[in-house]
């Protein structure tokens, strides 16, 4: 995959390698030009029925009042208006979700980068450690782990008892409005393994010659990190930030399981997705839920665009190109 001299043309450890060769061999495709569409047939059907269709339909529904039983009745912008002016629970769910995203993304990624740097050396057992750190990312979204968290952090749970044995007051995290969300945040950060393995692969791509060069100049550890590791790793950091942010907006299962579906105590874990679920599938306000879905979509789209824009300032692609 890699060609010779890697020094001057350091490919970013991006998750999209190997785009070069298919461009050069482009002309050699099959004469049968319809085959492409034939192979894409299931995907075309899927995207029409399960993605684009529903997207358009929900945009329409968001301007209606719809409870599944009667046909939708047009209400204009009433759903959107109510959301931002007359629904304190909606605004609250936005705050809860933003708090979660703003805390989880940097903390989880800092953990991931820290452990990745710790593991980035040639030692025995690296493969095993890497796998063990990755394990929580495979388990983390399951109901089973959410139940474990609920038990660990509730009254008499191991975390509460452990803190008590350190002389701290006993806390029933799960039923305390100021501690339930932090417990869920810890659960999210526990899954740092997924971004970690990506960081680790990125770190391995940094040529050691760069470090040797600054060592000659007598650089400190911090300077090595600040002036070599960070810039060389910035494409991978950007990728992880983007992915973690978008994922964090969609957290649902832990909040649902830990609060028993209520978003409690006192709405402290009322995530946006959880409130959307309640509006749609317990209150059957499908119009309102659709409007919420579109606000989420718009927010994620704007944020993604913004992150790409800002990335031009701080993400360093070794070859000077912009991806």
Partner 1 sequence: MSARTAPALPGGTAAARRNPGRRAGRTVLWHVGVVVIVLVVIYPVVWMLGTSFKPATEIVTSNRPWPLHWTLQNFPDGWHANPGVSFGKFFVNSLFISVLAVVGTLLSCSFAAYAFSRLEFRGRSVLFAGMVVTILLPYHVLIVPQYAIFKQFGWINTDLPIIAPKFLATEAFFIFLMVQFMRGIPREIDEAARIDGCGPYRTFLWILLPLTRPALITSAIFSFIWTWNDFFTQLVYLNDTDKFTVPIGLSLFVDQTGSTSYGPMMAMSILALLPVFLFFLAFQRLLVDGATSSGLKG
For residues 10 and 99, which CB has a smaller minimum distance to partner 1 in the complex? 10
DSSP string, 258-317: HTTTS--STTTT--HHHHHHHHHHTS--HHHHHHHHHHHHHHHHHHHHHHHHHHHHH---
Stretch that binds partner 1, among 79-87, 101-109, 159-167, 312-320 (CB under 8 A): 159-167
Answer yes or no whether residue 193 interacts with partner 1 by CB under 8 A.
yes
* Exposed e or buried b per residue across 48-65, where buried means at least 16 C-beta atoms within 10 angstroms of its C-beta: eeeeeeeeeebeebbbbb
> 25, 167, 169, 313: which one contacts partner 1 (CB under 8 A)?
25
**Which part of the chain contacts partner 1 (CB under 8 A), choosing from 85-93, 95-103, 154-162, 306-314?**
154-162
Using CB atoms within 10 Å of the CB of residue 292, give its burial: 0 to 12 exposed, 13 to 18 middle, 19+ buried.
buried
* 230 scored as a contact of partner 1 (CB under 8 A): no
Report in angstroms the alpha-carbon separations of 291 from 62, 70, 78, 287. Answer: 4, 18, 10, 6
Q: Does 238 bind partner 1 (CB under 8 A)?
A: no
Return the range that interacts with partner 1 (CB under 8 A); candidates 80-88, 97-105, 148-156, 309-317: 148-156
String of contacts with partner 1 for each residue 58-87, x by CB under 8 A: x--x----x-x-------------------
Q: Considering only CA atoms, which of 315, 184, 142 is closest in space to residue 240?
A: 315
Find the shortest distance in angstroms from Cβ 76 to partner 1: 19
Q: Counting contacts by CB under 8 A, is residue 308 touching partner 1?
A: no
* 22/312 with CB nearer partner 1: 22
CB-nearer residue toward partner 1: 152 or 181? 152
Q: Please, which residue, 225 or 316, has the CB nearer to partner 1?
A: 225
278 lies in the site for partner 1, by CB under 8 A = no
> Rule CB under 8 A: which of 118-137 touch partner 1?
118-123, 125, 127, 129-137
Q: Between 103 and 300, name the residue whose CB sits nearer to partner 1.
A: 300
Residue 74 phi/psi, 5-degree rounding, is -65, 130
The residue among 262, 233, 254, 265 whose CA lies nearest residue 190 is 254
Cα separation, 63 vs 25, in Å, equals 49
3-state secondary structure 50-79: HHHHHHHHHHHHCCEECCCCCCCEECCCHH
Piece in contact with partner 1 (CB under 8 A), picked from 53-61, 92-100, 101-109, 308-316: 53-61
If one asks whether residue 26 binds partner 1 (CB under 8 A), the answer comes out as yes
């Amino acid at each position: 995959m890699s060609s010779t001299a890697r020094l001057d043309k350091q490919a970013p450890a991006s998750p999209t390698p190997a785009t070069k060769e298919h461009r050069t061999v482009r002309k050699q495709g099959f004469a049968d030009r319809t085959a492409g569409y034939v192979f894409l047939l299931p995907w075309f059907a899927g995207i029409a029925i399960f993605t684009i269709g529903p997207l358009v339909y929900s945009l329409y529904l968001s301007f209606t009042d719809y409870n599944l039983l009667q046909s939708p009745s047009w209400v204009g912008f009433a759903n959107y208006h109510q959301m931002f002016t007359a629904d304190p629970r909606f605004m609250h769910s936005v705050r809860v979700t933003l708090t979660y995203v703003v805390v989880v993304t940097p903390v989880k990624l800092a953990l991931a980068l820290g452990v990745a740097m710790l593991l980035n050396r040639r030692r025995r057992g690296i493969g095993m450690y890497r796998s063990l750190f990755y394990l929580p990312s495979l388990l983390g979204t399951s109901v089973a782990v959410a139940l474990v968290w609920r038990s660990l952090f509730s009254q008499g749970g191991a975390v509460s008892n452990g803190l008590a044995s350190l002389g701290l007051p006993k806390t029933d995290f799960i039923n305390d409005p100021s501690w339930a969300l932090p417990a869920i945040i810890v659960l999210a950060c526990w899954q740092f393994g997924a971004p970690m393995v990506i960081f680790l692969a990125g770190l391995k791509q940094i040529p050691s010659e760069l470090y040797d060069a600054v060592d000659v100049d007598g650089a400190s550890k911090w300077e090595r990190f600040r002036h070599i590791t960070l810039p060389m790793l910035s494409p991978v950091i950007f990728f992880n930030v983007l992915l973690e942010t978008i994922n964090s907006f969609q957290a649902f299962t832990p909040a649902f399981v830990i609060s028993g579906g209520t978003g409690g105590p006192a709405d402290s874990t009322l995530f946006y997705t959880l409130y959307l679920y309640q509006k749609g599938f317990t209150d059957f306000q499908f119009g309102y839920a659709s409007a919420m879905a579109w606000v989420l979509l718009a927010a994620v789209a704007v944020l993604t665009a913004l992150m790409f824009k800002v990335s031009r300032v701080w993400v360093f692609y070794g070859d000077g190109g912009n991806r």
